[in-house]
Structure 1
Amino acid sequence: MKGLGTDDRTLIRIIITRAEVDMVQIKQEFQKQFGKSLDGFIRDDTSGDYRKVLLALVSQGGY
């Protein structure tokens, strides 16, 4: 993802459709592949209310 910018459609689709099912595994795999936490990527690459919503979704339920 480095240098590519945010693929918003893919990011939203994955977070919304998988958040309740396997967010823990998604976050672990993201860390392995990109060397950065998903939360950190969202913080660095998004802003405003969009950032707040995405962070709330990936953090829900103590993930």
Structure 2
Amino acid sequence: MSCFCVALVEYKTISGKSLQESIEGEMSGDLEELLVAIVKCVKNVPAYLAERLHQGMKGGGTDECTLNRIMVSRSEIDMLDIRAEFKKLYSYSLHSAIESDTSYCYGDCLKKICGGDD
């Protein structure tokens, strides 16, 4: 366990709430978003990236920039872990999310980068 993870546990023990809860309660705007993202990454990078991918595909449009950046940069690092976290968080596969939210060559390319349909 990293020193920062130990600090997160100790913070919760001392304060009675998580560091993320404190940040969300005391801050706002871009600084809040930045600090919450850092805490989420320290706790679990694949889960944070799965959440970002989900956010990039939910709603009316697709955030291609987010999808491209995460899918390409993590394809040879921890894509299997991201896929597993995505399935755990949302109860459907990253592959099926890509399939339903993107189309044509772009969707096919992302599905190839993603790998199998878990």
TM-score class, shorter-chain normalisation, is 0.7 to 0.9
Tell me the TM-score normalised to structure 1 length: 0.82
Matches within 5 A, 1:11-30: 11-30=67-86
Query: CA–CA distance in 2 between the matches of 1:57 and 1:47?
Result: 15
Aligned to 1:55: 111
Aligned to 2:90: 34
Q: Structure 1 residue 52: deviation in Å?
A: 0.8
Instruction: Report percent identity of matched pairs.
Output: 38
What are the ranges of 5 or more consecutive residues in structure 2 without an aligned counterpart?
Answer: 1-54
What are the ranges of 5 or more consecutive residues in structure 1 without an aligned counterpart?
Answer: none
Structure number with the bigger relative contact order (C-alpha 8 A, sep ≥ 6) is 1
Q: Which amino acid aligns with 1:44?
A: S
CA RMSD of aligned residues (A): 2.1
